[in-house]
């Protein structure tokens, strides 16, 4: 089983945090634990339901049930666990989040306000946003706006408070007031995220300031490649007035609050919390395509590839994010080792968008993974033509084409691309290592190869693959003592890698440590090397290395 992700480890910790009832179904509990350890919410959820039936008041199981049900997108199934948990008097921010979302869906705005007044808490940011939007939902927009003003005065909340006040003003039809907030100087108003820029473009368009909206979008698109903003820009250029679609109700505003919180957590390593907040945004506003796309991205990052594929496929046809979703779906399929399905998705996408460079590049990746290297080289060549000479990602395409050409045995083409890629990106450790190791493997330009690999190791000194490459370069240069030192380090960093252990065995042999050499070869064989490598190791175990070892004082035989 793969090592648990950070999110899965967090969930597992919840399951193990407290004692369980004596009569609990051990099989269901252990199955839930294993599924959560793997981050598999869909499998964990029914096992947790069975376990909870034997210990219904256990707060850790209730919390884990909420997480599993929300994680798989089953909001309705999370509600009973959240309600029961709160009814027992247990304090849980996640249970409170679910209860708040359930009240939004029911239009029970007073319930949210009463719970806040009674002391139920999620976080200062979530509580402040919930109060303001609940007031708007209850029909008191003036009180809601005042609540946003109170929030803006709190430390660290001004930007988000103003963003949501602008949303509320636009919802009420006050585009002038919303525009005044959105046009505040940097540092005084909302942070210009993609969502805020898209809202501001709509507000400007509604105010009849289409040219200003285009200028705003041009400035943003120079900094970020965003399909939603690009679509807005194209529609404005065609003379269209953008409708205000940011939110259509207070419920949408509450959903946007949770989406805002999710977005603030994206780069903080809290993937589980990002996922749960985005799922709650969707529960309150199923039309929130941005939240749906974020769910797909986070599931992919959590290596929940089948769930991510389903989430990407849910992005509606015709939406600006649909192309990005199909690219994401293709990436996920390739990671699921279904490169043929990825090729089908990409070919369908390219049928409608023949000059879509990222799709052509990914098609090359999928073709290479399917063993269709010659077609992959052609795809990479086309991707390079589309990218242009100044594209910041050009080196990646050159690198991919180099690796593919190397696999085809076309070393001249591969070497030219390796060198061109390094000229564009001289600090990319994986590129330096791959080219350097390729030279070592061919026995060519070993001094240059050594320099390349040393640069890679200097950039990432804890990368066992790079340290192995360096040791192997010393080996090929005949500096066997240096090779042993580096390969021992590599074997510490990559203890179960067959190639690393095989290399260390070869180095031990060459310094006369013959018994240790055979031990390392046996270890390498136990780690499942490729069939050809396994055959070579067996021959060494039988007959030794076909090179004479250097005698070492006291060496064993």
* pLDDT tens digit sequence for 319-364: 999 999 999 999 999 999 999 999 999 999 999 999 999 999 999 9
Alpha carbon 34 to chain centroid distance?
22
Q: Which of 70, 90, 110 is the last residue of a domain?
A: 90
The answer to whether the Cα torsion of 49, 53, 55, 57 is positive or negative is positive
pLDDT of 546 > 60? The answer is yes
Q: How far apart are CA 320 and CA 293, in angstroms?
A: 11
In a domain? residue 555 = yes
pLDDT of 401 > 70? The answer is yes
Pick from 52-56, 424-428, 489-493: least confident: 52-56
Under the banding of pLDDT at 50, 70 and 90, the label for residue 551 is low
CB 170, CB 203: distance < 8 Å: yes
pLDDT at position 556, please?
46
- In 207-245, where does DSSP find H-type helix? 210-221, 227-237
Q: Which of 90, 117, 141 is the last residue of a domain?
A: 90
Q: Which residues have CB under 8 Å from 539's CB, separation 6+? A: none
With CA atoms as reference, report the closest residue to 282 among 261, 256, 300: 256
Quote the number of domains for the chain.
Answer: 2
Backbone conformation region of residue 282, classed left if phi is above 0, alpha if psi is from -120 to 50, else beta: alpha
Backbone conformation region of residue 425, classed left if phi is above 0, alpha if psi is from -120 to 50, else beta: beta
Q: How far apart are CA 153 and CA 87, in angstroms?
A: 34
Under the banding of pLDDT at 50, 70 and 90, the label for residue 268 is confident
CB 353, CB 359: distance < 8 Å: yes
Question: What does the block give as tokens for 533?
Answer: 């490598």
Q: How far apart are CA 484 and CA 163, in angstroms?
A: 60
Q: Which residues have CB under 8 Å from 19's CB, separation 6+? A: none
% of the chain at pLDDT higher than 70:
94
pLDDT of 554 > 70? The answer is no
Pick from 18-27, 30-39, 141-150, 410-419: least confident: 18-27
- Residue bearing tokens 């509606």: 316
Under the banding of pLDDT at 50, 70 and 90, the label for residue 153 is very high
- Across the chain, mean pLDDT equals 92
Under the banding of pLDDT at 50, 70 and 90, the label for residue 19 is low
Q: How far apart are CA 15 and CA 58, in angstroms?
A: 10
Summarize the confidence of residues 3-13 as an average pLDDT. 49
Backbone conformation region of residue 2, classed left if phi is above 0, alpha if psi is from -120 to 50, else beta: beta
In a domain? residue 495 = yes
pLDDT at position 16, please?
44
In a domain? residue 203 = no
**Running DSSP on this structure, what letter comes out for residue 242?**
P
% of the chain at pLDDT higher than 90:
83
- State the Cα angle at 261 between 104 and 139, rounded to 5°: 35
What's the number of CA atoms in the CB half-sphere (13 Å) around residue 114?
6
Under the banding of pLDDT at 50, 70 and 90, the label for residue 13 is low
pLDDT at position 71, please?
94
CA distances from 151 to 89, 124, 274 (A): 28, 9, 22
pLDDT of 553 > 50? The answer is no
Q: How far apart are CA 57 and CA 49, in angstroms?
A: 12
**Running DSSP on this structure, what letter comes out for residue 2?**
P
The answer to whether the Cα torsion of 432, 434, 435, 441 is positive or negative is positive
Q: How far apart are CA 314 and CA 336, in angstroms?
A: 19
In a domain? residue 406 = no
Q: How far apart are CA 440 and CA 476, in angstroms?
A: 7
Q: How far apart are CA 359 and CA 325, in angstroms?
A: 11
pLDDT at position 3, please?
40
**Running DSSP on this structure, what letter comes out for residue 311?**
H
Cα Rg of the chain, angstroms: 29
Q: Which CATH number does the domain housing residue 535 bear? A: 1.25.40.10
Q: Which of 68, 90, 112 is the last residue of a domain?
A: 90
Q: How far apart are CA 486 and CA 468, in angstroms?
A: 7
With CA atoms as reference, report the closest residue to 277 among 300, 254, 244: 254
pLDDT of 146 > 80? The answer is yes
pLDDT at position 20, please?
59
pLDDT at position 470, please?
94
pLDDT at position 548, please?
67
Domain around 487? 448-557
CB 52, CB 64: distance < 8 Å: no
Q: How far apart are CA 378 and CA 394, in angstroms?
A: 15
Global pTM reads 0.85
* pLDDT tens digit sequence for 434-470: 999 999 989 899 899 999 999 999 999 999 999 999 9
pLDDT at position 159, please?
96
Under the banding of pLDDT at 50, 70 and 90, the label for residue 389 is confident
CB 206, CB 175: distance < 8 Å: yes
Number of residues that make up the chain: 557
In a domain? residue 64 = yes
pLDDT at position 241, please?
97
Under the banding of pLDDT at 50, 70 and 90, the label for residue 35 is confident
- In 353-476, where does DSSP find H-type helix? 357-369, 373-387, 394-407, 411-424, 429-442, 446-459, 464-476
Cβ-in-10-Å burial (0-12, 13-18, 19+) of 423 comes to exposed
Backbone conformation region of residue 39, classed left if phi is above 0, alpha if psi is from -120 to 50, else beta: left
Q: How far apart are CA 173 and CA 506, in angstroms?
A: 76
Summarize the confidence of residues 167-175 as an average pLDDT. 96
- Residue bearing tokens 């510490």: 492
Summarize the confidence of residues 527-552 as an average pLDDT. 84
With CA atoms as reference, report the closest residue to 48 among 60, 299, 38: 60
In a domain? residue 437 = no
pLDDT at position 4, please?
43
Give the highest mean pLDDT range of 2-11, 33-42, 545-554.
33-42
* pLDDT tens digit sequence for 183-208: 999 889 999 999 999 999 999 999 99
């Amino acid at each position: 089983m793969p090592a648990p992700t950070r999110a899965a480890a967090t969930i597992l910790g919840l399951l193990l945090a407290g004692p369980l009832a004596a009569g609990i179904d051990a099989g269901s509990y252990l199955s839930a634990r294993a599924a959560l350890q793997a981050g598999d919410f869909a499998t964990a959820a029914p096992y947790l339901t069975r376990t909870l039936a034997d210990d219904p008041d256990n707060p850790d199981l209730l919390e884990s049930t909420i997480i599993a049900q929300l994680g798989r997108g089953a909001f309705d199934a999370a509600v009973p666990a959240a309600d029961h948990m709160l009814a027992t008097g247990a304090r849980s921010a996640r249970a409170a989040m679910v209860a708040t979302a359930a009240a939004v869906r029911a239009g029970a705005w007073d319930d949210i306000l009463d719970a806040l007044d009674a002391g139920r808490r999620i976080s200062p940011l979530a509580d402040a946003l919930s109060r303001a939007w609940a007031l708007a939902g209850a029909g008191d927009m003036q009180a809601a706006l005042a609540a946003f003003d109170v929030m803006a005065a709190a430390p660290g909340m001004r930007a988000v408070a103003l963003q949501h006040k602008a949303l509320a003003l636009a919802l009420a039809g006050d585009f002038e007031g919303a525009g005044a907030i959105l046009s505040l100087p940097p540092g005084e108003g909302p942070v210009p995220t993609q969502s805020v820029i898209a809202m501001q473009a709509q507000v400007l368009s509604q105010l009849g300031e289409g040219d200003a909206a285009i200028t705003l979008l041009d400035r943003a698109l120079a900094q970020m490649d965003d399909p939603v903003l690009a679509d807005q820009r194209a529609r404005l250029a065609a003379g269209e007035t953008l409708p205000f679609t940011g939110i259509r109700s207070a419920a949408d505003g509450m959903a946007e609050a949770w989406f805002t919180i999710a977005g603030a957590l994206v780069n903080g390593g809290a993937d589980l919390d990002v996922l749960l907040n985005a799922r709650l945004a969707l529960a309150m506003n199923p039309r929130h395509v941005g939240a749906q796309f974020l769910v797909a991205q986070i599931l992919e990052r959590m290596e929940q590839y089948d769930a991510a594929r389903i989430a990407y496929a849910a992005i509606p046809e015709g939406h600006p994010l649909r192309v990005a979703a199909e690219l994401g779906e293709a990436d996920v399929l390739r990671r699921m080792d279904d490169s043929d399905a990825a090729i089908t998705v990409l070919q369908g996408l390219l049928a409608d968008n023949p000059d879509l460079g990222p799709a052509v590049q990914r098609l090359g990746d999928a073709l290479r993974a399917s063993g269709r290297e010659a077609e992959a080289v052609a795809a990479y060549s086309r991707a390079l033509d589309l990218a242009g000479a100044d594209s910041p990602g050009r080196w990646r395409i050159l690198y991919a084409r180099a690796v593919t050409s190397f696999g085809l045995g076309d070393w001249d083409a591969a070497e030219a691309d390796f060198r061109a890629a390094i000229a564009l990106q001289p600090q990319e450790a994986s590129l330096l290592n791959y080219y350097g190791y390729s030279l070592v493997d061919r026995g060519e330009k070993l001094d240059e190869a050594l320099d390349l690999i040393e640069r890679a190791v200097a950039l990432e000194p804890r990368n066992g693959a790079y340290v192995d490459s360096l040791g192997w370069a010393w080996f090929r240069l005949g500096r066997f003592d240096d090779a042993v030192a580096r390969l021992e380090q590599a074997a510490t960093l990559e203890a179960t890698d067959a190639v690393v252990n095989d290399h260390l065995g070869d180095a031990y042999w060459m310094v006369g440590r013959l018994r240790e050499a055979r031990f390392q070869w046996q270890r390498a064989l136990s780690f499942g090397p490729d069939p050809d490598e396994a055959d070579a190791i067996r021959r060494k175990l039988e007959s030794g290395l076909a090179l004479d070892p250097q005698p070492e004082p006291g060496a064993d035989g």
